[in-house]
Structure 1
Amino acid sequence: MKNITRNIFTIGFIILAFSCTDLDVDEKDSIVIPDTDEGFGGVNPGEALGAAYIDIRNTFNTQEALYALSEVSTDEMLVPTRGTDWGDNGVWRVLHEHTWDPTHRDVLSAWNRLNSNVFRLNQLLAPQSQASTQQAAEAKFLRAFSMFHVMDLYGQVPFREADEGVEVDPRVMTASEAFDFIINDLNEALADLPSTSPGAGTIKASKAAANFLLAKLYLNKHIYKGTGNPEAADMTMVIQAVDAIKNDGFDLQEGFFDLFKNDPDNETIWYTDAGVDTRMWNGLHYHQVVPDNDGGGWNGFSTLAEFYNLFEGDPETNVAGSGQEERRGFVPDIASDNIDDTNYGIGYGFLVGQQYGVAKDNNNKIIVPLQPIALNDRPGNPLVFTKDFPALVGNNERTGIRVLKYHPANGAFATGMIIFRYADAHLMKAEAILRGGSSGEDATALVNELRTLRKASTLSSVDLETLLDERGRELYNEGWRRNDMIRFGAYTGQWEFKENTEEFRVLYPIPATALVSNPNLEQNPGY
């Protein structure tokens, strides 16, 4: 990836009344909607497209909303309450327990953000805006992406045309109708999107990005259509879409944690210039620091022991050289003399056991040359991250394994967050083959190709359960775990501190305020 900064197109603001959402519009990222005597007069397509990419950035530029719904509700992520820290009126705990309701903060904020993205793109795509062919293709891809998430999370999609006034209640698509609409957008966009190879250009929509989303859609088609089982023809569509991505030059790349630096790589298909600090500091302890953030982490997000145990290696330690596969990462330690300015004592991947760092002077600045130290928590106990929690509440500062893919040594507040990655597409292809798609390749061989690159032992065979685990090992903390667990029938199962098995939880509720404002919406069953 390459760190690219975009200017926010701030050209004024208005207050809009959307009956599809209870929408808050911020001055800094809103655009003027020109009106004429005849009604909607179109928007400036170049400025609107720039704003649409900013909308995508803002969607990912937080640990709340879409990210919280996609990760904290799974076996991959837990945000325990530590004393009074991370209590937040229980919003994190109920996500993990699957006991949320239609008033949940993140249920509403994700709904508002995603539907706002869609409506602004409807304005860009309206004939009055006179978008160029490529501008329209990019806008259709971006609209398809936001609508995909609305469909995936909520099972229905409100849709307001650009020229419809506030007196019109937006129509509502079922998941099946939304699926067809999204597929049509992507197919129309494909011909006019650029063929982008790996590199800086992947911050924009491309043929490869559209093919990735098509693969994701067809892989989950039986979920959205409610048909129960995937069809072989749809799985073949997945395979063809992934092959098209590879033909554009994308491929697997060795050096797992190097993929999450701001350097070009062969795997990143699409990324946004969102800040990655919310994927770093939300789990690191207050005393884990780097030169450009001497205030340390926020000490919240953790993972479960059972998820950590999916990885190869000594289950009791993750210090360097513990026989672990590359993706599990490692914790630096003083004895190995591997604490330097490439890590500042902060590990990669899964941080468990004694944590190390570097000494600071009386002015709270890191001492140079670096002086490695074993860290303590704020009360003075050795900072030993444990695998186990006493409960969702009543935790100290040390409970829970922390997870880190984007490393603060690459920039404490760096930007450049991956949205689509080729390893995901590679595993989608393997899954599609297992589910009956036509290909001359073998699913086990594809999985072992990836595992060998990640320094994990090869497997003699692969089934669907194994593949779900493999997707977890490769894609943890990248926002796909909920989607995967639903497709594999695991999302309504039980894991630590999650006993609720209600099947209707595969969809989130329609926010209470949205139901009031749009009578065409119906609450999802169970809520």
Structure 2
Amino acid sequence: MKKILFSVALLSAGMMCTSCDQDLLEIEQKATSSTGNFYKTDADAESAVTAMYATYIGEIGGNEGIWSAYITGINYASDDVFAAGGDMADHTGFRELNEFRYDASFGPVSTLYNHIYKAIYSANLVINYFGGELADTPTKKQAVAEARVMRAWAHMLAAQVYYQPPLVDHLITTDKPSNDISQKEIFDWCVKECEEAANDLPERKGQSDKEGAWRVTKGFAQFVGGKSALFAGDNAKAASLLKPLVESSNYALVPGNRFRDLFHVEGDGCEEKIFEFNYTTNTAIGGVWGGSIQRGRWMVANVLNWRGDDIVGGGKNPQICATGGWGGGSINQDFAHKMLANDGDSYRRKATFLTSDEFFYDATLCPWADDVEAGGKLSTRAEKEFDENRGITKSAGSFSRSDVMEVKMMCHPKDVDLSVGDNCNNTNLCLARLGEAYLLYAEACLASGNSSEALKYVNKIQQRAGSKTISSSVDLQTIQDEKQYELWFEGCRWFDIVRWGIAKQCYDKVLDNIPLQWDEYWNPSDGSAPKTKPHKLYYKIHHPFADAGIKLQFVAGKNEYWPIPQTVIEINDQMHQVRGWANN
């Protein structure tokens, strides 16, 4: 694909004078083309599909003030993530997702909906102007196929987030979309779109083909189609679509010692990536807001980095963190302890979270300013145990944090372009990787009666992870556990527990169980004087809502999905709330 830079201008609709020469109004506008003249050539098709990708990156992968509707919104709706932050009053908009305190008027609910359907519109433009009989060259056919798969992915996402969202398979003119089509029909439609589009898509050109991870290929069509089939309950179809993908020589699991790279710039476009949004630093965008924010996922870095205010040295201490952040996206301690028991010292576990000992004393995994490996002076455990230049100092306790520290999605120093700033995460946003495809395929095989094939691919995941637990047999619980270990904070958990019918039991275990974290060195648990005990993380569970007389609850038949945004209901009489939201 040609590397094309797009600049967007905002046009004023106001007239600055009360009269003008009529002849001036008849001068042809420069640098514009009508749709009738533009959508003609192969070059036009390439430009149109490139614009579609730019729209998806901005709408799905972009920031929403201090958060991302897709990245944080979907993951904060999981049972194994705390929205966290500074305290109960911080980032409440995030935490309302985490605590089921939102309604149809809640900002994130409408924001993600709008982003999804704006992205779908950009795909429909390509399909409308180059599809059907107009697709008279291989280039145009490929452009349309790419748009169909991206449109299918967006509809799959919409049906995972909102129950019975509208299926918009054409450019809307005077008609109004409705939400009367069933969930299964939406997923089945996604499957059909991907199957048909795959015929006009190229294969990835081997494991080193980075552009093959940044542009829709046959492999991504197989992924979206297979995943949609699984959500439609068609396990045999899911297995048949995913089988050629997991067996393809164009992809491979990265070795265990590179697992952490999958979530940082070192892993961009690697052999495991099936499709990801390719972020680049665009220095052509100027100004404070353009220069500092719109060149990378600025706010995502700040939100997901450790809480700098709570840590000695703030921003870059420990030096694994690019800059001090706001402490969001904390890992649930019960899940972390479960994963530690299963994985032990695996590559996967250490790339997901650190234990207290690793956080304070392992200078390879987490160097502090005084560690020899970080250019400091301390090398022995005994010296580090009473080092006053490390640790958690917040006397009130670090909010929604326990005796472990997540690292998976944190912005590392190499993830940033320092010419822009140390809080602009330029790591690509992955939508599909082979690790997830293996587990989707394993589940489809198990449900279809092929347990030996399911075990084969579960074992591949466990062995790559370096897990101390390698299964000798497989059941659904095994796959559920492996998906949680492998894919924590990758936008899968919420949708999976809903699909498996276990959402309520999962959420009921975690609601209003908020950990507060301390460091024994700075705030000893026995009330003794500070600096008399070695650095060690500990936590206590609090129930702030129950203490205030408020009962948080997950309502079955309602909270599995977000409501249709109230703004959509108000402007479109063909849309209505469904399930438990219809009564609110």
- Amino acid in structure 1 at the alignment position of 2:274: I
Aligned residue in 1 for 2:511: 497
* Of 265, 268, 274, the match for 2:270: 265
Selected match of 1:311 from 316, 339, 353: 339
Does residue 383 of structure 1 match 2:392? yes
Matched, 1:93 2:99: no
Question: Any conservation in 2 of the 1:253–1:267 contact (CA below 8 Å)?
Answer: yes
Distance 1:238 1:181, change over 3 A: closer
Tell me the CA shift for residue 60 of structure 1.
Answer: 2.3
5 Å matches for 1:56-455?
56-58=56-58, 59-62=60-63, 63-80=67-84, 82-83=86-87, 86-87=90-91, 90-127=92-129, 130=134, 132-159=140-167, 164-165=172-173, 167-172=174-179, 174=181, 175-196=183-204, 197-198=206-207, 199-201=209-211, 202-222=213-233, 234-245=234-245, 246-255=247-256, 256-261=259-264, 262-263=266-267, 264-274=269-279, 275=296, 281=302, 282-286=304-308, 287-289=314-316, 295-313=323-341, 323-329=344-350, 330=354, 338-339=362-363, 345=367, 357-358=368-369, 369-370=375-376, 382-383=391-392, 396=398, 399-400=401-402, 401-406=404-409, 408-412=412-416, 413-438=425-450, 441-455=452-466
Aligned partner of residue 194 in structure 1, secondary structure: coil
**Structure 1 position 113, deviation (Å):** 0.2
1:159–1:170 CA contact under 8 A, matched in 2: yes
CA distance in structure 1 between the aligned counterparts of 2:177 and 2:10, rounded to whole angstroms? 22
Q: C-alpha distance in 2, partners of 1:335/1:149?
A: 36
| Residue 127 (structure 1) shift | 3.5
Taking the aligned partners of 1:359 and 1:85, their CA distance within structure 2 comes to 34
CA-CA distance at 1:483 after TM superposition: 1.3
Distance apart, 1:488 and its partner CA: 1.7
Identical positions, percent: 21
C-alpha separation in 2, matches of 1:464 and 1:79: 28
> How far is 1:306 from its partner?
1.2
Change (3 A) 1:443 1:161: closer
Greater RCO, CA 8 A, separation 6+: 1
Q: For residues 160 and 241 of structure 1, do their structure 2 counterparts lie closer, same or farther at Cα, with a shift above 3 Å needed?
A: closer
Is the 1:238–1:429 Cα contact (8 Å) retained in structure 2?
Answer: yes
Residue 269 of structure 1 aligns to a residue whose secondary structure is strand
Hey, what does 2:473 align to over in structure 1? 461
Aligned twin of 1:228: none
Distance in 2 between the 1:502 and 1:335 partners? Answer: 38
Aligned to 1:477: 489
Contact preservation (8 Å) 1:251, 1:422: yes
Q: Match of 1:503, SS? A: coil
1:40-94 Cα deviation digits (max 9, x unpaired):
989943333112212222212344312334211111211135337633xx32222
Task: Note closer, same or farther for the CA distance 1:516–1:190 as it changes in structure 2 (3 Å cut).
Answer: same
* Equivalent residue, structure 1, for 2:535: none
TM-score by length of 2: 0.69
Aligned-residue offset at 1:12: 5.0
- The Cα shift of 1:369 comes to 3.2
TM-score (norm: length of structure 1) = 0.76
Query: Cα distance 1:502–1:374, how it changes in 2: closer, same or farther (>3 A)?
Result: farther
Separation in structure 2 between the aligned mates of residue 182 and residue 128 of structure 1, nearest angstrom: 20
CA distance in 1, matches of 2:153, 2:509: 30
| Residue 567 of structure 2: aligned partner | 513
Please give the alpha-carbon distance, in whole angstroms, between the structure 2 residues aligned to 1:462 and 1:451: 12
Contact 1:83 1:395 in 2 (8 A): no
Distance 1:359 1:7 in 2: 46
Instruction: Give, in whole Å, the separation in 2 of the partners of 1:49 and 1:73.
Output: 32
Q: Deviations over 1:114-142 (max 9, x none)?
A: 00111121121114685611111111111
Query: Any conservation in 2 of the 1:289–1:297 contact (CA below 8 Å)?
Result: no
2:422 is aligned to none
Q: Distance in 2 between matches of 1:163 and 1:427?
A: 35
**Residue in 1 aligned with 2:550?**
none
Contact kept in structure 1, 2:226 and 2:241, CA below 8 Å:
yes
The answer as to whether partners of 2:214 and 2:276 remain within 8 angstroms in 1 is: yes
Report the alpha carbon displacement of residue 164 of structure 1 after superposing the two structures with TM: 4.2
Could you list the per-position Cα deviations for residues 125-166 of structure 1 after superposition, in whole angstroms to 9, with x for gaps in the alignment?
A: 11468561111111111111111111221123335576543x
Structure 2: how far apart are the matches of 1:10 and 1:220? 38
- Shift in Å at residue 35 of structure 1? 5.7
Q: Give the Å deviation of 1:278.
A: 5.9
Paired residue for 2:283?
A: none
SS at match of 1:247: coil
CA distance in 2, matches of 1:14, 1:169: 28
- 5+ residue gaps, structure 1, are 17-30, 223-233, 315-321, 346-356, 361-365, 387-393
One-letter amino acid of the counterpart of residue 418, structure 1: C
In 1, the alpha carbon distance for the partners of 2:477 and 2:297 equals: 31
Distance in structure 1 (CA, Å) of the matches to 2:486 and 2:76: 17
Structure 2 counterpart SS, 1:504:
coil
Cα 1:502–1:192 change in 2 (3 A) is: same
Is there any run of 5+ residues in structure 2 with no aligned partner, and where? 14-30, 280-295, 309-313, 417-424, 513-552
- Say if 1:238 and 1:432, in contact at 8 Å, map to a contact too: yes
Partner SS state of residue 156, structure 1: coil
Q: Structure 1 or 2: larger helix share?
A: 2
The answer as to whether partners of 1:79 and 1:92 remain within 8 angstroms in 2 is yes
Would the aligned equivalents of 2:145 and 2:197 in 1 still touch at CA under 8 Å?
yes
CA distance in 2, matches of 1:491, 1:15: 48
Separation in 2 of the partners of 1:335 and 1:160?
48
Q: Deviations over 1:348-377 (max 9, x none)?
A: xxxxxxxxx2269xxxxx99734569799x
Pick closer, same or farther for the CA change 1:241–1:504 going to 2, 3 Å. same
Aligned Cα RMSD in Å?
A: 4.0
Looking at structure 1, the residues matched to 160 and 12 of structure 2 have their Cα atoms a distance apart, in angstroms, of 28
Whole-angstrom CA distance in 1 between matches of 2:54 and 2:426: 16
